[in-house]
Structure 1
Amino acid sequence: MYLNVAEIESAITNLHAAYPTTAEILVPPHPTHEGRTARLLRIGSRPADQVDGILVLGGVHAREWVPPDALISLAADLLEAHSLGTGLGYGSTSYTAAQVTHVIENVNLFLYPCVNPDGRAFSQTTDAMWRKNRRPAPAGPGHGSPFCTGVDLNRNFDFLWDHIAKFAPDADVHTSDNPCDRQTYRGPSAASEPETRNVVWALDTHPRIHRLVDVHSAVPVILHNWGSDQNQSSSPADNFRNPALDAVRGRKDDDTGEFIPHEDLKTAVDLAERMNDAVRAVRGVDYGVEAAYGLYPTSGTSDDYAYSRHFTSPATTKTLGWTIECGNTFQPPYPEAEHIIREVSAALLALALDAR
């Protein structure tokens, strides 16, 4: 059975209690609209300021039930294997005891299993297909629909958030300024939501985080930066900070695109392919790899926000971003979910071993 919000928090508490030298609980500062505090678990034997880190998000979209369970499962597997001095196996993907030790001693994994606890609770008890958080509906006429509650957290980050001003009118960017949009309402302002600000806090507070992975479902695919437009590495001036592109951004095959340095793009693709290789070895499922824009144009997403930070604030850590879209349905039967959890775990360990 899928974990509910209380069980996720209990698992975090229990893992820290069982492995106090390699697991630390981090408490984000912003309670949700319904007063919940969803915690992070840092896994690693060295302090957060001594080695590089990877921030992994789960449960950003409420109806996607597998990712939080996957992050809890990975934490339990990794901590237990390190304690026992054993390796880990996920189907035909295997990691030796030495590799497990390497991850624990040379990387910090910041696991944020349930970014959106209000939404998960609502999805698991009231409306299984609920996607957003539970921000109260705006006051006034026209907002009486139950769909007027909530914000899509993965459209709320401060990256080209105002899609109407920042994208071509025909770009078909997948977000909405309508509070009553059931799926992709972006919120009243960038980073308006406490859940979004908690992710920003994690990045701000731990400057050695240099990779971010947001685990979602269900396509499946492994996506890398950017989601706003097609990637290009030849014209640095064509970038998200250039207002001259506001009228054309997001159009396909229009000779403009979002700048990404060649070496960053190569790293992003190489690591995505290594994650996909690990997934494929579990049971033969090929997720595939592509730039996020290939799925559809987006704004305000976690992975693009994380990577954009070092362009707008050069003192900020360069943090490459990926989204793993796992499985084929939002809430598969749990025996199938267990297979998907192994795929996600294998992918994240491949990244932890190869990200430098």
Structure 2
Amino acid sequence: MSYLNFEEITTGIQLLATEYGDFCDLVTLPHTSVETRQVHALALGDTRGPDMKTVIYVGGVHAREWIPPDALVYLAADLLEARKGGTGLTYGEARITADEISQIFANMQLLILPCANPDGRVYSQEVDPDWRKNRVPNPMPDGGMCHGVDLNRNFDVAWDFRRTFAPNAVSASDDPCHKYIYVGPEAASEPETRNIVWLLDHYTGARWYLDIHSAVPAVFHNWGLDDIQTDTPEMNFLNPAHDGQRGIAGDTAYREFIEEADAAELLRLSQLMAKEIHKVRGDDYEVSAAFSLYATSGASDDYAYSRHHANQDKPKVLGFTMECGHDFQPEFNEAENVMREVSAALVKFAADVSTTAIA
């Protein structure tokens, strides 16, 4: 066995949609990648559609992180086989019963996008294993050419980091030749970013968003903008009075507001996933707000959560980032162990929230 390339990922989810058509649909995303690759997702559930209560799972935003796309393809296959066969799933000591599988499919929809950044994955697997961004050309004034935008700095939440953050306080760059963290020429400039925005726009029943990365290992949740606090609502990413203050760890000048109930639920669900991961083979994943790693602007999990705050007509979506495993591209036998950890966590997450009513 070896890591899947993008063609194999596409073929795999197409075959799943054909074989398990009673329980899933192939979703064609509206924007082809920079290099014109078509991107697909799978919608799993006994009933599918934009209004269904939905969890969105996304992988492959960063090209060099090879495990998440494979993990999400195998997760989809495991879930669909279990649903059709009326069985449960076991990953080490983590067990999901047949009743829990039936409950997930009956009560909600899982929207799985295995590889959000196809061009980057191709380039990482064929040219530069350390490649992180997409492959958009960035022409330079001297006639030269750089490539790529970090998709996880390209979402429309505090994207203009030079205005919104304190100097040198955030993991972001406006240098088009920065190999890792170039934010792009504007928010949501990249078609791969806009595909994820479309999922959140189109699936109005979405209430949870999980972006699967590697490798810390950790389960992070909102916010990544600054330390969180629950006492001062006006101290938030939309308030220009606090521009230039964000991103400094441990200070009191600025901390990002979060509703107390949201903070408690984000922590509960993150701990639930970490507990299931530990059951697989005893690995311990850190649980914390994403800011504990470093300050981020334009990240997908914060964007998902920010939408309701920026526009009250949009539903509230809780955002998580799982940083799975200990290496970007471990030997495949180790990658399979990490995939089992990811699967155990994501299935238990779905089983838990499948009983949650949504407004």
Q: Deviations over 1:19-71 (max 9, x none)?
A: 00111011111111100011010111112245310111100000000000000
Alignment partner, residue 239 of structure 1? 236
Aligned sequence identity (%):
49
CA RMSD for the aligned pairs? Answer: 0.9
Which of 311, 314, 317 pairs up with 2:312?
A: 314
- Is 1:105 matched with 2:106? yes
Q: Could you tell me how far 1:327 is from its partner in structure 2? A: 0.5
Q: Deviations over 1:253-302 (max 9, x none)?
A: 22220000000000000000000000000000011201000000000000
Aligned mates of 2:140, 2:166 — CA distance in 1:
31
- Return structure 1 stretches of 4+ with deviation > 4 angstroms: none
Report if aligned partners of 2:31, 2:39 keep a CA contact under 8 Å in 1.
no
Aligned mates of 1:252, 1:133 — CA distance in 2:
29
Matches of residues 289-328 of structure 1 in structure 2 within 5 Å?
289-328=287-326
Report if aligned partners of 2:51, 2:204 keep a CA contact under 8 Å in 1.
no
Aligned mates of 1:139, 1:251 — CA distance in 2:
32
Report if aligned partners of 1:55, 1:212 keep a CA contact under 8 Å in 2.
yes
Alignment partner, residue 43 of structure 2? 42
Alignment partner, residue 212 of structure 1? 209
Q: Could you tell me how far 1:103 is from its partner in structure 2? A: 1.0
**What amino acid maps onto 1:95 in structure 2?**
I
TM-score for both structures, normalised by structure 1: 0.97
Aligned mates of 1:246, 1:159 — CA distance in 2:
13
Number of residue-to-residue matches in the alignment: 352
Aligned mates of 1:139, 1:263 — CA distance in 2:
47
Alignment partner, residue 263 of structure 1? 261
Alignment partner, residue 166 of structure 1? 164
Matches of residues 274-289 of structure 1 in structure 2 within 5 Å?
274-289=272-287
Alignment partner, residue 179 of structure 1? 176
TM-score for both structures, normalised by structure 2: 0.97
| Partner SS for 1:137 | strand
Q: Could you tell me how far 1:353 is from its partner in structure 2? A: 1.2
Q: Could you tell me how far 1:139 is from its partner in structure 2? A: 4.1
| Partner SS for 2:139 | coil
Say if 1:298 and 1:204 are closer, same or farther in 2 by CA, change over 3 A: same
Q: Could you tell me how far 1:128 is from its partner in structure 2? A: 0.7
**What amino acid maps onto 1:217 in structure 2?**
S
Say if 1:122 and 1:170 are closer, same or farther in 2 by CA, change over 3 A: closer
**What amino acid maps onto 2:198 in structure 1?**
W
Aligned mates of 1:333, 1:179 — CA distance in 2:
32
Q: Could you tell me how far 1:170 is from its partner in structure 2? A: 4.1
Which of 249, 254, 274 pairs up with 1:252?
A: 249
Say if 1:160 and 1:106 are closer, same or farther in 2 by CA, change over 3 A: same
Q: Could you tell me how far 1:104 is from its partner in structure 2? A: 1.2
Aligned mates of 2:256, 2:6 — CA distance in 1:
38
In structure 1, list runs of 5 or more residues that go unmatched.
none
**What amino acid maps onto 1:22 in structure 2?**
F
Alignment partner, residue 4 of structure 1? 5
Alignment partner, residue 191 of structure 1? 188
| Partner SS for 2:47 | coil
| Partner SS for 1:271 | helix
Report if aligned partners of 1:170, 1:251 keep a CA contact under 8 Å in 2.
no
Q: Deviations over 1:198-255 (max 9, x none)?
A: 0000110011010000000001000000000000000000000111111211112222
